[in-house]
Structures are given as structure tokens and as C-alpha cells.
Amino acid sequence: ARLSTTLKQSKATIIKAYDIVKSERNRIFRQWDACEREALIFMRDAPLGKVGRYEIRSAKSTAIELDVAFAAYLEKRRTYRKVTDIEKSLEALEKENRHLITVANKGLAQAAANTAKEVVALSKTVEGMN
């Protein structure tokens, strides 16, 4: 029971801290996303001469390069958007903990029963010797 209480307290602490981390993570993701979109827009618009405020010193991107860059952006975005559901992970941990406690208790009960049987058998043997 004490272990279970400690686990619940730890879970609450982790969830509280994770909410702070998740908020910061979302802010950083939005900044990354805005920067990536700006780069893609530049790649798209530079060959068309629509980027007047920048001096273009590199070769202009082709449609194929833009397509490859956009596909890479989408893949990174999908990867970065995946967030581990910490609550589900902690619930799974609690469930496994309960299972282990149940298995351990059954094992202890079985061991106690086996010991009791051994004691009875030993006492019968000792009685037979008298």
C-alpha cells in the first residue's frame, strides 16, 4: 500500500512537471514550424522574383528541390508533433506495478503454504521416529 501511495504521489508530480515541459515544447515547436515555413516560402518565391527584400546570392531552387524540402518538412513535423502521452505511460506503469504486487503476494502465499506442508511432513516424520 505504501508503494502504491508513493507511486500515485510521484505520478502527480510528474504530470505537473510534464505540463510545464509540454507547454515549452509546444512554444518551441511553433517557432521551429514558423521558421521552416518561411524557408519553404523563400524557396518557392525566390525563383519567381517575389522576394524583393532579400539579395539572393545562391542558386535558385528548382521545383524538385522545393518538393523534396517540403516532404522533409512534413516528415520532421510529423515526428516533432508526436508527443508521448505521459498519463497513459504512468497508468501502464501503475497497472504493471499492481500486477507485480499481485504476483508477488501469490508467490508469498504459495511459499507459505509449501512451508506449512513441509513443517507438517517433518513433524509427522519426527513423530514416527519417537
Residues belonging to the chain:
130
> pLDDT of 83-119, one tens digit each?
677 777 778 777 877 777 777 778 777 777 777 777 7
- The 10s digit of each residue's pLDDT in 2-23 is 767 777 788 788 878 887 888 8
Distance from chain centroid for Cα 17: 14
How many CB atoms sit inside 10 A of residue 89's CB? 13
- Residue 43 CB neighbours (<10 A): 19
